[in-house]
Structure 1
Amino acid sequence: MRRKIFDVPNERSSHTTPTPRGGGIIIVLVCLIFYTGYTIFVSDNFLWSYLLGASLIAVVSWLDDIFDISFVWRILVHSVSALLIILTLGFFGEIYFPLVEKTEFGIFGAILTFFWIVWLTNAYNFMDGIDGIAGMQAITAGIGWLIIGELLGFGDVGIYGGVIAASSFGFLIHNWQPAKIFMGDVGSAFLGYSFAVLPLLAKNRSSDNYSLLPVIAVGLVFLFVSDTLITFFSRILKGEKIWQAHRRHIYQRFVITGFSHRFVALLYSFISFIFIGIIIFWLKTRS
């Protein structure tokens, strides 16, 4: 059991010493306790589907950190959690693209929403491969939701984004290079799922701006989305087995080249803040 709780380095690792994993459970507990209390007693917008879906994601990911759960079971839970959200919160039937205006997707929007939730849940996990990068992304994206929530009128969702940022900062203190503990699947999958669902939570609060939310959501985690997509299709074109662990992500290549974990984490965070600024500028000029 001790060995399973520790992440032991191998040829695909970016660390050199055995390090305990699963520390992201503290982010999960802080966020879900706050979400439950705040939405029940303050905002009166409690949505059991997010709480249940996020809890399912956290449980299967925690078990995977300890026992190495089959990929099939994990994807099944991710899919069920995505469907819970779509059935209760709906989906994005139209998306406002800059320079293109609104694009109608109809029922196809449900399929896009499903893949968006499942993809980001896993993409965030793929990107948690060096010290600090997942925590820094959670801080920047959470702050982005906090600011944009106030701008567009879904402040309670923005506050929850702020809580995600704050809890991730608390964890980051122990995950900064050299990391004393790793986030593990329990933290990264939970964060990916939460950032995928936040625009749908906001959709129920801001009917006037809901078509803007998909672009905003992607923009706030753009580097994580683009890094995983580029790596995914690059491996397919090279005929590699995409389900096997690897070190082909762009952020991993930076580290292999010689850059430190903290430099890469800060670089990704800095660029993410630039995206936040671009999104805010777009929203203000549009209004």
Structure 2
Amino acid sequence: MGDSPERAVTLVFLAAGAAAASWALVGAVRRLALRRGVLDVPNERSSHTTPTPRGGGLALVLCAAAAWALALAAGAPPRSVFGLGLPALAVAALGGADDVRPLGAGLRLAVQVAAAAAAVWALGAWTAVTLPGLGAVPLGAAGGLVAGLWVVGLTNVYNFMDGIDGIAGLQAVVAGAAWAAVGALGGGLVAGWTGAAMGGAALGFLVHNWAPARVFMGDVGSAFLGFTFAALALVGSDPRLPLAALAFVWPFVFDGGFTLVRRLLRGENVFAAHRSHLYQRLVVTGAGHRAVAALYGALGAVSAAAGLAWLGGAVWLLIGVGAGVPIVLFAALRATAPPQPPVPGASHSPQLEPAGPPGGAV
């Protein structure tokens, strides 16, 4: 592909082509879903109010598959392309089947674990991970297990986070652009072309999915995106790459991880459907879909920039952004939370006691 400027130009054209193709494909998928009755019908946990076609994420899958074929033709290592692409396509097929007819959680998890194991086997387990202040930490025999858990975990987190208009698509634009930058800076054909294709395709999808959404991504898209963005961290031997991959999707990972731990501590059934993610609570307290999606997209862009800087040696920027994202999300939730009702029997004079901060506790 030549030197860095030529690589960058190639990736820009690839992203633009994917965006145009995705825009057309999503429209076709939407019409097909309407004819076949593949609709997301609202229930008490939904963030939408009208039946909406789903499965638009199929366009992202097709664009990524086309990019992998082109990468092979351009000389990408077949083991890397097939080791990433085939398991990701299996996860997409599972998600597509679940969109049409819901499947059991056990079956979905089993396929995801098998796909993650195949990707780790083909692409290689992590032998070490570089952490701020600690350097490269050897993982030894645990490297494969850690990598597999990362892939399965992000696959599900991305699916959980696809709950309001625009949020998953915008995160995909950001993460895709970050991986394209990795490729443009010498990270290889597979990372660059996959990132450019998925980022561009997500942009074309967003034209249909920005609030109010005319089509939803569905599991075919959300599970595929989560799996692929996770497995890309296995393509390459740089021990800094796993933390960079985490930074590229950090707002999603933090929200998903925090919500899981919070529910566990409360004794809730973590496998039951709910509306307690931070982004869902922001919508419930009055922030609109567009505002919340834009907030997560902006935080994702800052985190992705910190991840790229980390690959260049900027340690403190990564640490600062890693801590800053939770602070901003909690501050946003506090700012949008309704005032707490007065405690019965506790009357205080406003002249004697200053007003407390608005909102309730996170």
CA distance in 2, matches of 1:230, 1:114: 20
Are residues 1:272 and 2:304 paired? no
Q: Paired residue for 1:120?
A: 154
Q: Paired residue for 2:72?
A: 40
Is the Cα–Cα contact under 8 Å of residues 129 and 137 in structure 2 kept in the other structure? yes
Q: Which range moves more in the overlay, 39-48 or 220-229?
A: 39-48
Is the Cα–Cα contact under 8 Å of residues 94 and 109 in structure 1 kept in the other structure? yes
CA distance in 2, matches of 1:87, 1:25: 26
Query: If the length of structure 1 is used for normalisation, what is the TM-score?
Result: 0.93
Identity %: 41
- The residue type equivalent to 1:282 in the other structure is W
Q: Paired residue for 2:263?
A: 235
- Cα offsets for 1:210-267 (capped at 9, x unmatched): 1011000000001111111100011111111111110000000110011111111111
Is the Cα–Cα contact under 8 Å of residues 146 and 155 in structure 1 kept in the other structure? no
Q: Paired residue for 2:44?
A: 11
Q: CA deviation at 1:276?
A: 2.1
Q: Paired residue for 2:120?
A: 86
Q: Paired residue for 2:357?
A: none
Q: Paired residue for 1:141?
A: 175
Q: Which structure 1 segments of 5+ residues have no match?
A: none
Is the Cα–Cα contact under 8 Å of residues 4 and 67 in structure 1 kept in the other structure? no
CA distance in 2, matches of 1:44, 1:126: 32
Q: Which range moves more in the overlay, 50-59 or 272-281?
A: 272-281
CA distance in 2, matches of 1:114, 1:22: 26
CA distance in 1, matches of 2:138, 2:87: 27
Q: Paired residue for 1:256?
A: 284
Q: CA deviation at 1:43?
A: 2.4
Q: Paired residue for 1:25?
A: 58
Q: CA deviation at 1:155?
A: 4.6
Q: Paired residue for 1:283?
A: 311
Mark the CA change 1:160 to 1:88 in structure 2 (over 3 Å): closer, same or farther: same
CA distance in 1, matches of 2:85, 2:153: 19
- Match for residue 252 of structure 2 among 194, 208, 224: 224
Are residues 1:166 and 2:169 paired? no
CA distance in 2, matches of 1:141, 1:245: 26
Q: CA deviation at 1:178?
A: 0.2
Q: CA deviation at 1:109?
A: 1.3
Q: Paired residue for 1:110?
A: 144
- The residue type equivalent to 1:230 in the other structure is F
Mark the CA change 1:72 to 1:156 in structure 2 (over 3 Å): closer, same or farther: closer
- Cα offsets for 1:31-54 (capped at 9, x unmatched): 11221x222210232232322211
The count of aligned residue pairs is 280
Q: Paired residue for 2:223?
A: 189
Q: Which range moves more in the overlay, 245-254 or 37-46?
A: 37-46
Q: Which range moves more in the overlay, 1-10 or 89-98?
A: 1-10
Mark the CA change 1:156 to 1:114 in structure 2 (over 3 Å): closer, same or farther: closer
**SS of structure 2 residue aligned to 1:102:** strand
- The residue type equivalent to 2:57 in the other structure is G
CA distance in 1, matches of 2:244, 2:187: 14
Query: If the length of structure 2 is used for normalisation, what is the TM-score?
Result: 0.74
CA distance in 2, matches of 1:26, 1:281: 31
**SS of structure 1 residue aligned to 2:137:** strand
Mark the CA change 1:272 to 1:244 in structure 2 (over 3 Å): closer, same or farther: same
CA distance in 1, matches of 2:153, 2:297: 21
Q: CA deviation at 1:26?
A: 1.0
Q: Which structure 2 segments of 5+ residues have no match?
A: 1-32, 316-362
Is the Cα–Cα contact under 8 Å of residues 245 and 307 in structure 2 kept in the other structure? no
CA RMSD of aligned residues (A): 1.7
- The residue type equivalent to 1:192 in the other structure is G
Mark the CA change 1:4 to 1:65 in structure 2 (over 3 Å): closer, same or farther: farther
Q: CA deviation at 1:29?
A: 1.0
Are residues 1:246 and 2:282 paired? no
Q: Paired residue for 1:67?
A: 101
Is the Cα–Cα contact under 8 Å of residues 182 and 191 in structure 2 kept in the other structure? no
Is the Cα–Cα contact under 8 Å of residues 122 and 192 in structure 1 kept in the other structure? yes
